[in-house]
Chains A and B, each alone.
Chain A
Amino acid sequence: MTFDLAPLAPYIGDFAAGARLTALACALALAGGLALGIVAALMRTAALPAVRRAAEIYVDVFRNVPFIVQLFFLFYGLPEIGVRLSAFGTGVLALSLAGGAFTSDVIRSGILAIEPGVLEAAQVSGLSRLAIYRRIVLPIALRSSVRPLGSVFVNLVLTSSILSAITLNELTGSAKIVASDTFQPFEVYAVLLLVYAVMTWLVSLSSAALHRRLNRGQG
């Protein structure tokens, strides 16, 4: 039983390349998930029951089906209907769809937490519906959702490891290659575990900092 990290040193470049791909996929998925999540959250708090129902179904399905099944559905299914995406594109799409479902939950509760008086005041002032959403609802809801959104993003980073199952060489995928090159799987995956822990820790630290910055001056 030996634990030797020295043979991994020449592979730091591979790890870094994988980490870059993971970071890129997560950043794109964060943007996509946020956009989808905001739309879904607005739909779920809409007045029309049909609109609410449609958004509920989207969230329900993507929360209750394993991510790897969603990923395979898109990866094998999309080419079937003529949509040809790279593994990276499929991965980002799948992460955005799943992320959007979780994001919408957070933003929805942020919207529901807005005091009705604020909205009534805006309506009485004669603001258009778009202005109310853009100037009042979303700023308040997003500001209070920063911290829970941070933990959604942490989950997104962890979930992105599953993208290695569709031939994408992100962090986990490149670690798999390094492990089979060096024959030292324990060291490789132990290091990988720590790298992910550090990455998610940084994400939660920065989301906490952003939360403090956006909510400064609030009790």
Chain B
Amino acid sequence: MQYTDFAPHDLILLLQGLGVSIALFAATTAIGLAIGLAWAMLRYYRTPLLSPLAALLAELLKNSPVLVQLFLVFFGLPVLLETELTPVQAALITLSGNTAAFIYVIAVSAIESVGRDQLETARVFGLRRWQILRRIVAPQAAAFALGPLTGLLVNQLQVTSLISVIGVVDLTKAGAILNLRTLKPFVVWTVIGLLYYLMARLIAKACARVETRLRAHSEWKGL
């Protein structure tokens, strides 16, 4: 057997990488969603001081490369705070923060998409601010946000590939390892690219299904 041939073990490496990519994507999406929504609440409740600060931070995170944020957290933070960070922890922190910033922007525009007259009507009926958010704003904002959210999730999946640069063995890193060993860049990177493509497709399809459900209330049902 030649050293540069593909071995059955390569498949395990590939699946491992795929698992790491999916797990990190799922975890950072969940954390980012929670933080981003909390962040948007600061704005909804017009918290003084914190609300403009949140907007500034989101702007900064949106307008700088994720790779630099990753380096800042992985190489910079341990030196500054004199602690240690594993590559996976650094990836979790960075990607969650980045996702949160984009979720914040989407959530803010979704909340603002709900007409003012509806809010005024609700207030006249004596609903509290929380009830308005829960019963009137949230259901409509969620349907509005799903389009941009789909784009964001597909994008964030691709962003996870950057963590390979700081040494997390995700799908891209598995590809880099196989590429260096087998010296067959076309096969390796085509397979890796295809796997990412399929995952992106899956995410887009899942989001489209949720969107149809959320929009069901406004659908024409016939007379």
Do A and B originate from a single complex?
yes
A66 within 8 A of B: yes
State the CA gap A164–B77 with chains docked (Å). Answer: 21
B-chain residues with CB within 8 Å of residue A175 when the two chains form the complex: 68, 71
B187 closest partner in A (C-beta): A77
Q: Are A164 and B67 interface neighbours, CB within 8 A?
A: yes
Q: Are B197 and A186 interface neighbours, CB within 8 A?
A: no
Q: Are B72 and A189 interface neighbours, CB within 8 A?
A: yes
Q: How many residues in A have their beta carbons less than 8 Å from beta carbons of B?
A: 43
**Given A69-B175, A162-B162, residue A176 in contact with residue B71 (CB < 8 A):** yes
Q: Are A3 and B68 interface neighbours, CB within 8 A?
A: no
B3 within 8 A of A: no
**Given A1-B82, A64-B154, A69-B161, residue A196 in contact with residue B65 (CB < 8 A):** yes
Most chain B CB atoms below 10 A, which of A69, A175, A190: A69
State the CA gap A72–B185 with chains docked (Å). Answer: 8
Contact with B along A1-23 (1 / 0, CB 8 A): 10100000000000000000000
Q: Are B72 and A77 interface neighbours, CB within 8 A?
A: no
Q: Are B193 and A70 interface neighbours, CB within 8 A?
A: yes
Q: Are A65 and B193 interface neighbours, CB within 8 A?
A: yes
Cβ contact of B176, chosen from A1, A72, A190, cutoff 8 A = A72
B51 within 8 A of A: no
Interface residues of B in 147-185 (CB under 8 A from A): 154, 157-162, 164-165, 172, 175-176, 179, 185
State the CA gap A159–B81 with chains docked (Å). Answer: 29
Interface size, B (range): 35 or more
B-chain residues with CB within 8 Å of residue A179 when the two chains form the complex: 71, 75
Contact with A along B93-121 (1 / 0, CB 8 A): 00000000000000000000000000000
B159 closest partner in A (C-beta): A66
B23 within 8 A of A: no
Q: Are B185 and A190 interface neighbours, CB within 8 A?
A: no
B144 within 8 A of A: no
B60 within 8 A of A: yes
Q: Are B172 and A193 interface neighbours, CB within 8 A?
A: no
**Given A164-B67, A179-B75, A189-B75, residue A77 in contact with residue B185 (CB < 8 A):** yes
B35 within 8 A of A: no
State the CA gap A201–B222 with chains docked (Å). Answer: 49
State the CA gap A76–B159 with chains docked (Å). Answer: 21
A-chain residues with CB within 8 Å of residue B68 when the two chains form the complex: 161, 172, 175, 189, 192-193, 196
Interface residues of B in 24-70 (CB under 8 A from A): 59-60, 63-69
Q: Are A72 and B175 interface neighbours, CB within 8 A?
A: yes
State the CA gap A80–B82 with chains docked (Å). Answer: 45
Q: Are A197 and B77 interface neighbours, CB within 8 A?
A: no
Q: Are A66 and B189 interface neighbours, CB within 8 A?
A: no
**Nearest Cβ on chain B to A193's Cβ, whole angstroms:** 4
**Given A80-B186, A154-B63, A164-B67, residue A193 in contact with residue B196 (CB < 8 A):** no
Interface residues of A in 161-211 (CB under 8 A from B): 161-162, 164-165, 172, 175-176, 179, 183-190, 192-194, 196-197, 200-201
- 17 residue pairs from A and B, CB less than 8 Å apart: A61-B197, A64-B196, A66-B157, A66-B160, A66-B172, A73-B185, A76-B189, A77-B185, A164-B67, A165-B165, A185-B79, A186-B72, A189-B68, A190-B76, A192-B71, A200-B63, A200-B64
- Spell out A's residues near B (CB within 8 Å): 1, 3, 61, 63-70, 72-73, 76-77, 80, 154, 158-162, 164-165, 172, 175-176, 179, 183-190, 192-194, 196-197, 200-201
